[in-house]
Amino acid sequence: MILSIQAFISFVLFFGINSAFSASIKSVTRKHVARSSTNLAAGPWWYETYKPMSGVFEASLLEPRYILANMIYNWEKMRGTETTQLITWKNNMVYWYNFLHVTRVKETENIPLSYAFVGMLSDLKQKISDYSSIPVEYHWNRMNYGPTKANVCLDFVISDDSQKNPEIELMLWLEYEGGQKPIGYGQKSYPVTLYNRSWILYQGPNKSYHSRMVITLVPDQAFENVFIGDAKVWLMKLVELGKFSSDARITAANMGMEAFWGHSQFKARSRMDLLWEGNEHTPGYIPKSFVKPITGERVPGY
């Protein structure tokens, strides 16, 4: 997929959430939500908005569980537009659209420009070993109106204090087109069996973001419009391979679509649960004390 995948920057916003998650949801932060090598001017952000989002980093917060974001982290290199829109949100499943209209430019054709995604807001920062499972259900359909370079992926960030550089980005490519290559392509790679199919593991530093390590698994045969599986199996396979410890903590967990250029309509529905004792190992868990913000209201300060 990516020769220079942009990394998650840390910038923090606090806004009130009434929750009994304690360790899982407090005042939610935006740490690791954004990918950029520069400080993007985020916003506007909204509580459960259904309007089209075309900003550089515009988002709909589906509290207390998800964020749906339109993030154009290389906006200065983009010639065109990208829009992400929430269709509906029910039974813990997020239904969403993405519309891509970006011109292919020779000088930047191998640079990823944007990332539209559904990301977790709750139940992060626990040890991998503390999660009983991480069920993921991700359905998608892309209609191209011309050549397109993009991918569909799961994208996690973990923090392993036993490593010299504790933050590691993990990518699980599900579908890809247009000839993109992962970080570490051309270096030593490894065959891996996972989810009853063959993958190639690539690993290398993201030189555009503090040389943070990126580990990518690319399937020999791409998934066709659906992935249903336990993401903990993927993480534990990497633990088994010695890439990090099961004591590493998950700091970001996203289901998304990364684009380089092209003209397409992407329609998806996405669901994930990070099951641990803090949510009673219950999919779709919402604490009784949670008070939902006003739908369509702007997040203060953004």
> What is the number of residues in the chain?
302
Q: Model-level pTM?
A: 0.86
Task: Compare 19 and 274 and report the one with higher pLDDT.
Answer: 274
User: 216's torsion region: left (phi>0), alpha (psi -120 to 50) or beta?
Assistant: beta
88 Cβ contact partners less than 8 Å away, ≥ 6 residues apart:
50, 95
91 Cβ contact partners less than 8 Å away, ≥ 6 residues apart:
284
Please give the share of the chain, as a percent, with pLDDT higher than 90. Answer: 73
Using CA atoms, how far residue 230 sits from 99, 105, 233, 235, 251, in Å, is 29, 38, 6, 9, 17
Most confident of 84-88, 159-163, 287-291: 84-88
DSSP string, 110-159: TS--EEEEEEE-SS-SSBGGG-SB-EEEEEEEEEESS--EEEEEEEEEEE
Angle, CA of 62, 248 and 194, to the nearest 5°:
80
Tell me the pLDDT band of 206, cut-offs 50, 70 and 90: confident
Tell me the pLDDT band of 211, cut-offs 50, 70 and 90: confident
pLDDT tens by residue, 230-271: 999 999 999 999 999 999 999 999 999 999 999 999 999 999
Q: Does residue 182 carry a pLDDT above 60?
A: yes
Is 115:294 a contact under the CB 8 Å cutoff? no
What is the model's pLDDT at position 166? 82
Mean pLDDT for the stretch of residues 31-48: 58
What is the model's pLDDT at position 167? 92
pLDDT tens by residue, 141-178: 999 999 999 999 999 999 988 777 789 999 999 999 99
CA dist 15 and 126 (Å) reads 21
| Residue at 101: amino acid letter | H
Structure-token pair, residue 108: 């930047």
What are the chain's domains? Answer: 8-279 (2.60.120.180)
